Structure 1
Amino acid sequence: MGTRTVPAGGVHVAGTFQAPAGFPANWNPATTALTDPDGDHIWEATVTVPAGVFLYKFVNGDTWGGAELVPAGCGLDDGGGNVNRQVVVGGTAVRLPLVAFGDCATQVRFAVDMNGQTVAAGGVHVVGNFQTLAGYGANDDPTALPLRDDNNDGIFEAQISLPAPGRFQYRFVNGSTLAAVETVPASCGTPDATGTLTRVLDATTAATTTPAFCFGSCAPCSGGQPGTNYATHWWNDAVFYEILVRSFQDSNGDGKGDFVGMTQRLDYLNDGNPATTTDLGVTGIWLMPMMESPSYHGYDVSDYKATEADYGSMAEFEAFLAAAHQRGIKVIIDLVLNHSSSRHPWFTQAVGNANSPTRDWYRWSATNPGYLGPWGQTVWYPRGGSYNYALFWSEMPDLNWRNPQVRAAMWDVSRFWLRKGVDGYRLDAVKYLVEDGPTLLDTPETLATLEEFHDSVRAVNPAALTVGEAWSSTRLVVPYVSNDRLDLCFEFDLAESIINAVNQGSASGLRTQLNLVNTLYPKLQYATFLTNHDQNRVFDVLGSNPARMKQAAALYLTMPGVPFLYYGEELGMAGTGPDEDKRRPMQWTAGTQGGFTTGTPWRTLNANYRQFNVANAQADPASLLNHYKKLIALRTTHETLRKGYYLPAAASVPTVLVYARVYEQQATVVATNLSGTAASTPALSLGISTLAAGTYQVTDLYSGQAAGTVVVDAQGGFSNWTATLPALAPNGTWMLQLRAATVNSTASAKPAFALALYPNPATGPVRLDLAAAPAASSQVQVFDLTGRLVHTARFAGGTYTMPVAHLQAGTYFVRVQSGAAVAVQRLVLER
């Protein structure tokens, strides 16, 4: 604390480590005290935490008024301008280097490119003679400093602090033993004291970034492939439809939907013939729980390897699955890992029997631990002379995921249904799997469990999809789709932003959220939706307004991500209040019981079913259903809407939201009018993209109308262009396709060359590697998304280290011209 005056409250540290370390809650500025027993003005504390990544900051006193202001150069911005310190804990004795209150130590970012490598189960680590000095155990300890791949680009990274600059030697480890350490080639290796070749780090600046060479190599694994060649998967081509089997179609008159009824209605979803236009066109189905359960909703499973009797037999489920696959429809099912039913034999055998072999498959306490759940609910219930932990309801006891037998049993379940032919899983309540005392969500152990789940699923079906429900803010969701955990998670913040934008007639909040989502997630790898079975139906939330409903649909079906629509959403089904009312039977006709059943439905139909039903909607060309059909068909037909990367664009009218989807040399520019009045042909601008310069024909995909031509400049953008279309109607949306008519030979016809940026995303200086620079001297230009030039320089040779400290967090385009050749690459900066 140097010469600072320490108040009577003392010095504290607060952060995300506190609850895992046994303190009452995270981010409490008064509970984790530091001491200075020898009076040397160095205040310290020792805490015990599990392995993981934690954020923290120091507090001079015991209130947030005394919190340090962490410099951006050595912290992470939480998105609101608040910067925190970060520590990676992997080994058993991490001692953070001394740092001045509110100041930075030397920052070092290690990065290794693992593309093309099989990453070991133990993860990726870095070792070297810096470890003792940095506080990461003994030098060359292969377990102490793990690297992470949070954006799923194959580059594993970690940032650490060093108390002083210097020269250090290091190597990467594919695993957690020295037997798995890389062999560094002589061309970039320096012998250590034993003669072993190592990499060398000169930590001579406040922030140093190592180049992301391939493991065991002196060159990038990617060979300089442009960043627009990001990975896509079959689910990026899909549109999913969420179904509660109980409410979709009853085939036998008992008032409950079933597998046979669903099979009978498959042609409504997709008849398997691309030439027809009568089907909705979805290519994926998500089935809400269909395993045996005592409840109507099925989220309390009593037999994980049996179908729900109300829905039909296993043979009938398999027949449904085969019929869906014949039509080109993938099927994923709900898998409830967090808890079972209280009627599951595992639980009934354990109640009141401390010697039961399944007793430790659940969480028990002799006394009530006393803490409540995340929303203030009771979580410990008296049962059989003890207290049992159940997060959601007393009859849905949580499984104890610390028990290896539980893990083995549930991995067996996951393999069982994959072998039946399902194409993946939607995982309920995924952030609550593994508790750490009173810390009930988002624990490091939960993330580690999902890595095991990933391996279990991929062992049976390498192409299976996993989608998680981690109902949290965007930044808290991203770790769930990192590091080979889940493929997708539902983007709740984006769904709320879409609805708010349409209801409020404002583009600003949605624009901000879109930019955040497309900066943080692996490209395109998140699930979009409007509302689901746990929320009031979107038609009600949008005031039963068909124009707003159509606009909301146009937004999420043209945005990046993988779209999911809730059954009946495409009709305007209503539903608010109790969950059962959000899950009422499907509305097929205006006739008796809406065509759902010949008997008495398990839940009465919505009052609006006589107006909003499939039969009426199919006969009305302007219906919401036909709008959905058209949007889904356009998405299925055009790669830009399925695989194109996202760019924000601008309009001359503030209430018009504009964004572009760019894939290879095509683009679709989406412009939507959020106001209640027509926008008289707004002028549109796109700052920069990877489109070649030239003249492009523009067509509105939705209406089929020609919209004129636009000249794309050398930066891949255009300014104040006006479409030759009528005024953009209230709640109206244009989907403007750009197809090259002529290409300027002075720009894009020049031979391109390979350009690689490392690291990317980056927090410090960025290294540019030119695989084969055509000229001795090259020029680099960096543009922000508005096309504004923010950095330029000339350099010689095949590499250049670019300073970025003067740039804000966000997405940029880096353009390098070497002789007559030009290459463009996207760069993401994090702060």
Structure 2
Amino acid sequence: MYKGATFKTKKITICSLVGICLTTFLLSGCSGNQSNKTSIATPSPKADSIQSTATPQAAKVINKTDEQPSTVYYELFVRSFYDSDGDGIGDLKGITQKLDYLNDGNPETTTDLGIGGIWLMPINPSPSYHGYDVTDYRSINPDYGTIEDMQELITEAHKRGIKIIMDLVVNHTSKEHPWFVDSAKNSDSKYRDWYVWAEDQGRPANGASAAGGGNAWHSLLGSHYLGGFWEGMPDLNFDNAEVRTEMKDIGKFWLEQGVDGFRLDAAKHIYEDLLSDKTEATTVKNVSWWQEFRKAIHEVNTEAYIVGEVWENSAVTVGAYLDQAFDSSFNFGLAETLVNSVKTEKDSGTAFTLERTYKLYSKISDNQFTDATFLTNHDQNRVMSQLDNNPNHAKMAAALLLTLPGNPFIYYGEEIGMLGVKPDEGLREPMRWSAADQGEGQTTWEAGRNNAGAINVDVESQLNDSGSMLERYRELIALRNEIPALRDGGIRDYASGNPGVMAYERLTTQDQVLVVHNLTGEEQAIVLQPNVEGFSYSKILKTIAVKSILNSDQLTLPPYSTAIVE
């Protein structure tokens, strides 16, 4: 969990963690056939809690657990969200106008989504619609508004208890950035060494990109520059101290404008440019830079939240960045597992794996990390499309995401079941506010082909529908905010004994609840056993979807439902 702690010197090498990581994932997994027969649920043994000699109905004991105080974040593509001025392009003023949809600041109301943070995809000037190739790091894309609009958004968000983090893209700039233009034209330019030119460094202009596999080198004016993602995004040279200083100053600038932190794009590619760079030594250099960056921005705000994009399924690689660099790193492996679990309607051993992975992360971070969980993001086919437009599966995916530890990130439109498949524009289509394609605030920059003609896939249609996807998300977020163990707790595996039922305990130092999901379309029943502390779960605290029944120690769950038991 993130506590704004001071820096400590700690020597934990990546190699020393490999043994822990391999043990973690070799032990994980689940098999068996789905059944609606009563199964015996047994808690997984763990020595991380204070053991009790209590009887099965004893009071809860104090747990030794690494808590993860959290909030729910909402990933938002400004261009697609809400248009305040009628030009068809979403803007910052539009987001401000729709803040009450996200969180109205009143915990007593139930008409808002209830999120606590917003991740703004790139807002800097850029020649591309997506903004990941920046031309000016200290200003706002004119399509989106002004610095003053940004400050107003931040102020209004903070009034409602919403934090704002922004995408910070420092691995590369746009080919049209003045730095690069000058660097390319003049070999004596002060910016020449801000980029990587093969001829200047005596390097061969060949080598496959670590970001995409194609040739990472591009020809321009008789020289070749490095651009791992594509030729329009030349990589910056972080071996140059001036580049590092500039990027730290840019981070400080935005914190001074009031933002609460950053989502760091392409975080592992600062030095991992070519496939041949995928080494432990490169990861160490990457981590070292991000530690330097974090230390600098803490000079402005010690509570600034940093979440990195390290697109890896390896806990070792991801974990390295949690050593005084990032507060969180997106859990791509978990996202795949959750989607697969609901699609196949089978428990994947998620809690078993997470419990052990979090041990690793806690050790690396001195108990300072918070996981960043999600289902899909702007680079992946939307979850509803991956689930073949099955609303029951999509609702169960939401239930898993919003009852697990960490900061859950919801991709805009996920809460109303929007569809989206590649190419990338199809993943970032306009948010649907009403069934009318030209309704108030509706963005029109992209045709919205994936969602054209979709029935009830819009906010207006779902607002007052108790069975809607939107209502399910609102209910789950409210539940998470209400129950401390769901919001801030760690996790402990609790084997359900039924391959169609996923169960796990959520624990803070003072509270614990058992979360049980029926992933299947059939009624399932399990017998609850006392946990490792001798405590028996004996009362249903909350149910999602349809009411579950707990008769003595037998818990019966209707199809596609969730029970929170205390």
By the TM > 0.5 criterion, same fold?
yes
Structure 2 residue 424 is matched with structure 1 residue 587: no
Q: Aligned runs of 1:89-488 on 2, under 5 Å? A: 228=64, 230=66, 232=68, 236-366=69-199, 368-374=204-210, 375-435=212-272, 438-439=276-277, 442-488=282-328
Q: Distance in 1 between matches of 2:72 and 2:113?
A: 10
Change (3 A) 1:305 1:506: same
Q: Distance in 1 between matches of 2:21 and 2:71?
A: 33
Q: Distance in 2 between matches of 1:78 and 1:270?
A: 38
Retained in 2: the 8 A contact 1:591–1:610? no
Q: Distance in 2 between matches of 1:373 and 1:298?
A: 21
Cα offsets for 1:715-759 (capped at 9, x unmatched): xxxxxx323xxx4223222122x1xxxxxxxxxxxxxxxxxxxxx
Change (3 A) 1:287 1:55: same
> Which residue identity lines up with residue 347 of structure 1 in the other structure?
F
CA displacement at 1:55 relative to structure 2: 4.2
Retained in 2: the 8 A contact 1:657–1:671? yes
Q: Structure 2 residue aligned with 1:626, among 471, 484, 488?
A: 471
Cα offsets for 1:243-282 (capped at 9, x unmatched): 0000000111111000111111111001111111110000
SS in 1 for 2:339: helix
Q: Distance in 1 between matches of 2:536 and 2:336?
A: 38
Q: Structure 1 residue aligned with 2:385, among 524, 540, 550?
A: 540
Structure 2 residue 386 is matched with structure 1 residue 571: no
Q: Distance in 1 between matches of 2:112 and 2:259?
A: 22
CA displacement at 1:694 relative to structure 2: 7.7
- Structure 1: segments with no counterpart, 5+ residues: 1-50, 57-73, 84-225, 711-720, 739-831
Q: Match for residue 601 of structure 1?
A: 445
Retained in 2: the 8 A contact 1:697–1:709? no
SS in 2 for 1:459: coil
Retained in 1: the 8 A contact 2:491–2:506? yes
Change (3 A) 1:629 1:380: same
CA displacement at 1:230 relative to structure 2: 4.0
Q: Match for residue 616 of structure 1?
A: 461
CA displacement at 1:557 relative to structure 2: 0.4
Q: Distance in 2 between matches of 1:541 and 1:75?
A: 32
Q: Match for residue 56 of structure 2?
A: none
Q: Distance in 1 between matches of 2:396 and 2:188?
A: 59
CA displacement at 1:469 relative to structure 2: 0.4
Change (3 A) 1:421 1:540: same
Q: Distance in 2 between matches of 1:686 and 1:580?
A: 50
Change (3 A) 1:380 1:622: same
Q: Distance in 2 between matches of 1:258 and 1:508?
A: 40
CA displacement at 1:697 relative to structure 2: 3.9
Q: Match for residue 329 of structure 2?
A: 489
Q: Distance in 1 between matches of 2:501 and 2:24?
A: 27
Change (3 A) 1:75 1:329: closer
Q: Distance in 1 between matches of 2:509 and 2:539?
A: 16
Cα offsets for 1:581-612 (capped at 9, x unmatched): 10000000012335443x84344362145521
Structure 2 residue 341 is matched with structure 1 residue 501: yes
CA displacement at 1:543 relative to structure 2: 1.2
CA displacement at 1:321 relative to structure 2: 1.1
Retained in 2: the 8 A contact 1:649–1:684? no
SS in 2 for 1:279: coil
Q: Match for residue 657 of structure 1?
A: 502
SS in 2 for 1:237: coil
Cα offsets for 1:473-527 (capped at 9, x unmatched): 1324433443211000000000100111111122135355334433322266110
Cα offsets for 1:438-486 (capped at 9, x unmatched): 4157531111001101101111000010000000013244334432110
Q: Match for residue 554 of structure 1?
A: 399
Q: Distance in 2 between matches of 1:462 and 1:400?
A: 27
Cα offsets for 1:528-550 (capped at 9, x unmatched): 10000000000010111111011
Retained in 2: the 8 A contact 1:634–1:701? no
Q: Distance in 1 between matches of 2:21 and 2:119?
A: 33
Q: Distance in 2 between matches of 1:229 and 1:515?
A: 10
Cα offsets for 1:80-133 (capped at 9, x unmatched): 6999xxxxxxxxxxxxxxxxxxxxxxxxxxxxxxxxxxxxxxxxxxxxxxxxxx
Cα offsets for 1:600-629 (capped at 9, x unmatched): 434436214552100111121110100000
Retained in 2: the 8 A contact 1:342–1:348? yes
Retained in 2: the 8 A contact 1:660–1:670? yes
Retained in 1: the 8 A contact 2:67–2:508? no
More strand by share: 1
Q: Distance in 2 between matches of 1:75 and 1:492?
A: 19
Q: Match for residue 162 of structure 1?
A: none
May I ask how many residue pairs the two structures share in their alignment? 508
Q: Match for residue 542 of structure 2?
A: 700
Structure 2 residue 37 is matched with structure 1 residue 76: no
More helix by share: 2
Change (3 A) 1:460 1:327: same
Q: Match for residue 554 of structure 2?
A: 722
Retained in 1: the 8 A contact 2:502–2:518? yes
TM-score (norm 1): 0.58
Retained in 1: the 8 A contact 2:342–2:393? yes
Change (3 A) 1:570 1:670: same
Q: Distance in 1 between matches of 2:215 and 2:63?
A: 48
Q: Distance in 2 between matches of 1:624 and 1:81?
A: 35
Change (3 A) 1:509 1:658: closer
Retained in 1: the 8 A contact 2:432–2:457? yes
Q: Distance in 1 between matches of 2:176 and 2:278?
A: 24
Cα offsets for 1:225-251 (capped at 9, x unmatched): x8726465xxx3310000000000011
Q: Distance in 2 between matches of 1:331 and 1:363?
A: 33
Structure with the greater relative contact order (CA < 8 A, sep ≥ 6): 1 or 2? 2
Retained in 2: the 8 A contact 1:450–1:485? yes
Q: Match for residue 560 of structure 2?
A: 731
SS in 1 for 2:414: coil
Cα RMSD of the aligned pairs, angstroms, is 2.6
> Which residue identity lines up with residue 295 of structure 1 in the other structure?
S
Retained in 2: the 8 A contact 1:700–1:707? no
CA displacement at 1:408 relative to structure 2: 0.6
CA displacement at 1:376 relative to structure 2: 2.0
CA displacement at 1:75 relative to structure 2: 8.1
Q: Structure 1 residue aligned with 2:521, among 676, 693, 714?
A: 676
Retained in 2: the 8 A contact 1:491–1:528? yes
CA displacement at 1:660 relative to structure 2: 0.6
Q: Distance in 1 between matches of 2:417 and 2:248?
A: 39
Q: Match for residue 635 of structure 1?
A: 480
